[in-house]
Structure 1
């Protein structure tokens, strides 16, 4: 067993040996404090960097729940279609053979409507919405029913403005609207393997103008996830014709198909048509618009002739 050393005699308090020990003791206390302060600065800097990144991401319309872009704004798609299993939503409604969805899915195409046609039909929306507009961020113009957002309410523009409508719109405007609607109808029928003659336009079918103004009423809260078949009942097939460009005309405002862990998003592009079966298989929402103005037309179709509506006419 090794011999043990005796401990050094304890120096009296206040002598030189004790004084020599004090500096090393102070360093041992100061060192953890210095390290802590250094890590605190790093943590604060990291938090600030993260915050700025989130602001930038938000300004570009980002959403961390989106995992896949179905259609980029820079793409020119002749057609892209994804088939998905049909939901049971259609079982609680009357079925129409050869029309009611048996094949469900979602598609995107830039080959149905030209960008020039999109520009021309956007001018119809701009003229109509110049007569009113919502106090909130979402304004609606429905040429079928005449519904127009004005302040916090809706008016019938045909009754409210009367003969003034003749100076706002033209017969060519309404003919263009009908022509583009028919092109969309034919494309949907082809994609889902049904007869276009069995599809009927249904309400609501409308122009939308969305900007970053804060919502004033429930009608302005366009960003909530929903199912068209549940919300409207008559919808069997839904389509959107975009009239402005994501990141050029507005930020945010992308269309999102909601799927657990694998959301799919469509980036609007003028002339792009997005279409899908209207049941729960296509739960969806629109991102909030952060800047600029987003224009689109929602065009919906039903298989039930009792829920069909006529094209608008210029009278």
Structure 2
């Protein structure tokens, strides 16, 4: 019987050894599977991070190219035709520090946009006027102006009076039709502002500066080229009571960036330029604004402003 007990002992020992080997094998398999799983997780995490980084970079690039550097609401898209869009806002106290003119000084404040006052053909003709005048000079930086009233013209890093600087040659640049178109457009815009703010246009006077602007992506050379800073027209110029801009080129066709931005707490309001579009507003701090940097192409516009103070009024530019 003793040999049988020894045989049983050996069988037990063999079975125990096999169990240990099996357990070790399973443990190694488990470790291997966990390692593969973790490596797979790290791989997908890396891919996910790279994808997210790529998406973020794309969004940032899109945001940069489109000039959207904050939370904005578009008041006027470039591909829509607006009849008369008007948004009333509470007037600021800026007008209280100036002499008030009953029936003209803003008591109703706001901003308006219309695409039906000036035709695209008129805008294109005015753009050619701007191009002819600015071909005589232009800033070394990204922003140039042409003022047909005072004769101010960007010229390198400075300004010249184009009427004195070029003399009789000006008659070969501008025609009598150019000046008549300018007057007609100014009158249409003045009527539009008068109707929107319920004022008699005879109480409004054209004021300076009223000028053509040409903006491109060239790096600024002087402070005159830094057009993108927020400002308030009533504080900057004093005489302004109503400001208007007539756009002479198209956003995302002729240029990128360069949208007009009404700056407000929370959500800025933007206007996308469109040839023939008129944007107008009361000039106080209720309409703090700026222009986005132009990233490509060339943006043309004309600023036409009005005052209620006859002492600050100017006449239309005379025929040459």
TM-score, structure 1 length as denominator? 0.90
Structure-2 separation of matches of 1:106 and 1:244: 21
Structure-1 separation of matches of 2:173 and 2:59: 45
Match of 2:244 among 234, 239, 243: 239
Deviations 1:256-305 (A, max 9, x none): 11111232211111111100000011111111111111110000100011
CA RMSD of aligned residues (A): 2.0
For residue 12 of structure 1, what is the aligned residue in structure 2?
none
For residue 280 of structure 1, what is the aligned residue in structure 2?
285
1:168 deviation in Å?
0.7
Q: For structure 2, which runs of at least 5 residues remain unmatched after alignment?
A: 1-19
For residue 43 of structure 1, what is the aligned residue in structure 2?
49
1:108 deviation in Å?
0.7
More helix by share: 2
Q: Flag the structure with larger Rg.
A: 2
SS at structure 1 position matched to 2:251: coil
Structure-2 separation of matches of 1:294 and 1:144: 21
1:52 deviation in Å?
2.0
Structure-2 separation of matches of 1:235 and 1:313: 22
Number of aligned residues: 302
Q: Does 1:168 align with 2:186?
A: no
For residue 7 of structure 1, what is the aligned residue in structure 2?
none
Counting only pairs closer than 5 Å after superposition, residues 52-131 of structure 1 correspond to structure 2 as: 52-66=58-72, 68-131=73-136
1:60 deviation in Å?
3.4
Structure-1 separation of matches of 2:31 and 2:190: 83
For residue 149 of structure 2, what is the aligned residue in structure 1?
144
SS at structure 1 position matched to 2:184: helix
For residue 164 of structure 2, what is the aligned residue in structure 1?
159
Deviations 1:208-244 (A, max 9, x none): 0111111111111111111111111110000000111
For residue 210 of structure 2, what is the aligned residue in structure 1?
205
1:38 deviation in Å?
2.6
For residue 255 of structure 2, what is the aligned residue in structure 1?
250
Match of 2:221 among 216, 221, 231: 216
Structure-2 separation of matches of 1:155 and 1:117: 27
Deviations 1:88-143 (A, max 9, x none): 11111110111100000111111211111111111110000001111111111111
Per mean C-alpha deviation after superposition, the further-off stretch among 257-266 and 120-129 is: 257-266
1:22 deviation in Å?
5.3
Structure-2 separation of matches of 1:159 and 1:263: 42
Structure-1 separation of matches of 2:23 and 2:165: 96
1:306 deviation in Å?
1.0
Structure-2 separation of matches of 1:91 and 1:45: 56
Structure-2 separation of matches of 1:82 and 1:41: 47
Structure-1 separation of matches of 2:248 and 2:148: 16
1:28 deviation in Å?
4.4
SS at structure 2 position matched to 1:177: helix
For residue 270 of structure 1, what is the aligned residue in structure 2?
275
1:69 deviation in Å?
1.6
For residue 298 of structure 1, what is the aligned residue in structure 2?
303
